Each structure stands twice: as C-alpha cells, then as structure tokens.
Structure 1
Amino acid sequence: MQVRVLEAFVVPEPELQALAGELRTRYGRDDLDLSVAAPARPPEVEAHESMTALSYAVPELVRNALEAEAEGIDGLMVDCMADPGIEVLRETVSIPVLGPGITSMQVATLLGRRFSLLVTTDFSSRYFHEYARRTRLNARLASCRQVDIPPEQLQAESGHTLQALTEAAVQAVESDGADTLILCCTGFAPFSARLGEALDARGLSVPLIDPFAVTLNALAMLIHSGLSHSGIAFPATAISAQHRH
C-alpha cells in the first residue's frame, strides 16, 4: 500500500528527504510505503498562515496529486491542518484523499463529547472556528487555544513550544470543558509524546490526537476497505478525465 504525503508549501529537496525518513520512522507500518511530494515553485507569500497562502497552495497540490495517481499511489494526505484544496483534489483524482484537519475533528467526536484544538496563532483560531462551523462540528468544539507561535518557529523554540502547548492544553480541559484534544498543526506532531506525559503528570486523562497518526491510519483503512470519496459528491472534472486518458 503506497501513500503519498502532499506538502502544501515548498520544502527544499534535502529537507524533503529528511522529512520522508522522519515520517517513515514515526508512522511507518509494515504494509505502508510512505513518500512525500512538495511544490516545485517558490512560495508566493511569506506567511503560511493566510487565506492567500492556502489558495496559492492548491494548484501545486493538484499537480502533485495527478502525478501520484499516475504513478499508482493508493492514497493521499495533505500535510496541512487547514486542509487546503481537499475538495478540489477529490474532483481531480479517484484515489482517496484525506486532510488532517477534518479527519482529526471527526475522530475526536468518536472519542469524547467536546474537543479543543491546540492552534498556533490567532489566524488559526479564527480559521478553525469557521471550519468547525462549515463542517457542522462546532457544537462539539469546546475551544481553540493558541500558543502564539508561527508554524515555522515551532522547532526553533522547542522548549517554549512545549511549555505553551502544555499551558494551552490544561486551560482547554480545566477552563473550557474539553475532554479530547487535537494538536491542530502538523508541526506539533514531534511534541505529542512529551505533551501527553505532561498531561498525565497533572492527572488529566484525555485523548491527545496526533493528526498525522490518525490521518495516515484512516487512509490505510480506506485503502484496505476498497473505499474512496463519492463520485456523486465529487464528480470528476475535465482535468482529471484528460489526465487519465
């Protein structure tokens, strides 16, 4: 089973190979062959957290999705919690496409009654409040708690990131009534284990959803089950038909 992770933003080639190796180490399964593709063009805007950046990401995601399907890849995951272009990709390719944002929120509804999103900045908080409303999950959303660190700085300030995540998680549970937490940036994934330990140490027994883990495993489940998105909900477009012929 071959799954390709589609980066929404440019990743230099050496870093891309390192990322692929890191993902295989952290999320690899015997039946899962993971690969990564990133946009070939330089970024159109500097800040990733903007509607403009998310919009510019879509054409390159489409290009990489079409290439993946032509290569025989079995399923696709977009590496961005905002799920840019998910519906477009589903009209473009026939293989299953999942975004970590909606997948994580839907899994959270299976595990508890109210979930909170641990987000990066004010933009993310506003974006995901609206995303939860559009996907009709807002009734289950307890809060968006932000750490006020842009995605590109999460690793550079790892100590501060972990402390801010811990404080946000505790507030979400104790003040907002959340019983399930989502790391609402794929850049938070390396902090998942340590954050879980910090919450356990405080006696807070809540599921902590790593979006990469749940999305890749959900994708594997769909592939194993022979399922993909509905052709009625997401009818093929001219570009997908032309590419297949």
Structure 2
Amino acid sequence: MRILLVNVNTTASMTDAIAASARAVAGPDTEIVPLTPTFGADSVECNFESYLAAVAVMDAVTRYTGPYDAVIQAGFGEHGREGLQELLDVPVVDITEAAGHVAGLLGYRYSVVTTLDRAVPLIEDRLKLAGLDARCASVRSSGLSVLQLEEDPELTLKTIVREAELAVREDRAEVICLGCGGMAGLDEAVRAMTGVPVVDGVTAAVKLAESLVALGLSTSKVRTYAPPRPKHVAGWPLPQPARI
C-alpha cells in the first residue's frame, strides 16, 4: 500500500517531520511518500495562505506520476480536501477530520490546541463543516507560529501542555487534538504530562487511510464529489488528472 502524505506548506523540514511521524505508525506493508508543494507559503496561518495551499496540494498530487492507494492532506483546518476528493478515485483523508473522528471515539468532548489565535476560526469552521463541532469543547491557541514550533522544542511542548491542561480543567475536555501538522510526534509527551488521550491528526489519518484501503472503500462519486465536468479553465496550473 502506498500513501501520499502532502504537506500544505513549502517547508521541507516540516514535511520530513510529518513523514517520520506517519511512518512510525504505518503498517509494515505501507509506504509513506511525502510531498512538498512547489509553490505557496512556508507556513499556512490564514485564509489566503490556506486557499493557496489548497491549489498547491492539488498540483503536487496530480503531478505525482507513480501509483498510490490513498492521499493524506497534512494541514490542520486547511481548505482543499473536497477538491482532492473530486479529482481522485482513491481515499482522501484530512488530518483535521481524522483527529476529530478519532477523538470522538475516546471521550465525550475534545479540545484542539493549535498555533496562532487567527487560526482558531479556520479550524472551528472546518470542524463545523465536517459535522465534528458538536463535541468540540474548545479550540485553543498556543500563541506560537507554525515555524516557531521547530525553533524551541522544549518551549513548544511546555506551551502546548499548558493549553491542554486549561482545556481539560476549564473547558471540560476529555481528549486533546494537536491542531497543527507541525506538532506531529508530540502526542506521547503531551499525553504523559496531561494524563488524557492526545490525538495527532497525522498518525490518526494514516491508520484511517490504511483502513479505508483495506476495506476497499473510497469517496462516493454519485453526487457531491463527482469528477469535475470537462471544460476549459484558462491559466489553470494543474495538469489534467490522469486518474479520472
């Protein structure tokens, strides 16, 4: 089984970290192929950058020429998953939704700890769109930018744990979701320091993608995610998808 793992930003070191986290939980017969977009922002923290990332991710996937069985969009709260589902005939899993679905299996309510405060509304919107908002106790900002997550690992962990503990104590959350792909790999440490289940959207997405492939299931093409109708789109940067 081959899974394409697509970072939403252009920072290669973050792609490497996300891939390492994914490979740590992937089955022995699963190959993780990390992709970094060729254009876009070095971190995605607002609507403009998120919409740009959506196009960049679709571009990266449709330009990949090898076979693959599933795609993971590794951006928390980002746009674009729906477009990928229209373009592809394999399962597409977004780490935001993967984290929310898994958290719902582990406790009554969950909270998300993310990066900057301006990212909070984007994540809230994506959870609402996915029908995962009813059991979300809160989305909390750590105050750290995406790129700051890599600069000082000790400070990053301390800040995430602080917000996670507040979510459990003040918001009555029972499960914590790490709300950024750049937080991949921190789940065990946060779990040990908070005493509650902590879900990393990247690893959750890997196991969900593997399960969908094993079950022989993929996106319905009956209505909402039917392939785009053939038409001329002037200046469109993507090649014609080969898998449709």
Category of TM-score, reference length = shorter chain: 0.7 to 0.9
The CA deviation at 1:39 is 1.3
Aligned residue in 1 for 2:62: 66
Comparing 107-116 with 233-242, greater Cα deviation is found at 233-242
Q: 1:54 aligns with which of 46, 50, 56?
A: 50
Q: CA deviation at 1:20?
A: 7.4
Compared CA separation, residues 171 and 17, structure 1 to 2 (3 A): closer
Aligned match for 2:226, one of 225, 235, 245: 235
Counterpart residue number, 1:132: 127
Q: Please tell me whether the aligned partners of residues 5 and 19 of structure 2 are also in contact (alpha carbons under 8 angstroms).
A: no
Aligned length: 235
8 Å Cα contact 1:189/1:210 also seen in 2: yes
Q: Secondary structure of the residue that 1:71 maps to in structure 2? A: coil
Of 137, 157, 161 in structure 1, the residue corresponding to residue 156 of structure 2 is 161
Aligned to 2:212: 222
Superposition RMSD in Å: 2.3
**Structure 2: runs of 5+ lacking an equivalent:** 231-238
Return the offset for 1:22: 2.5
Structure 1: runs of 5 or more not aligned? 201-205
Local SS of the residue matching 1:177: coil
CA contact 1:16–1:36 (8 Å) conserved in 2: no
Superposed, 1:31-180 pairs within 5 Å as: 31-41=29-39, 43=40, 45=41, 48-68=44-64, 70-180=65-175
User: TM-score under structure 1 normalisation?
Assistant: 0.87
Q: Distance in 2 between matches of 1:156 and 1:138?
A: 31
Distance 2:241 2:128 in 1: 35
Tell me how far apart the structure 2 counterparts of residues 20 and 194 of structure 1 sit (CA, whole Å): 16
Name the structure 2 match of 1:203.
Answer: none
CA gap 1:74/1:123 in 2 versus in 1, 3 angstroms: same
Mean CA deviation greater in 94-103 or 23-32: 23-32
The range that moved more, 161-170 or 232-241, is 232-241
1:114-161 Cα offsets, whole Å, 9 max, x none, are 110011111121212222222332221111121100011112121111
More helix by share: 1
Distance 2:130 2:18 in 1: 30
1:241, CA displacement in angstroms?
A: 7.5
Q: Answer with 125-134 or 234-243: which moved more.
A: 234-243
Give the residue type in structure 2 aligned to 1:133: K
* In 1: Cα distance, 2:189 partner to 2:26 partner: 20
Contact 1:20/1:34, CA 8 A, preserved across alignment = no
The CA deviation at 1:78 is: 0.8
- What letter matches 1:173 in structure 2? V
Single out whichever of 115-124 and 58-67 deviates more from structure 2.
58-67
Distance, in Å, in 1 between the alignment partners of 2:140 and 2:157 is 14
Deviation (angstroms), 1:46: 6.2
User: Please, what TM-score do these two structures have when normalized by structure 2?
Assistant: 0.87
Aligned equivalents of 1:17 and 1:81: distance in 2?
14
Identity among equivalent positions (%) equals 21
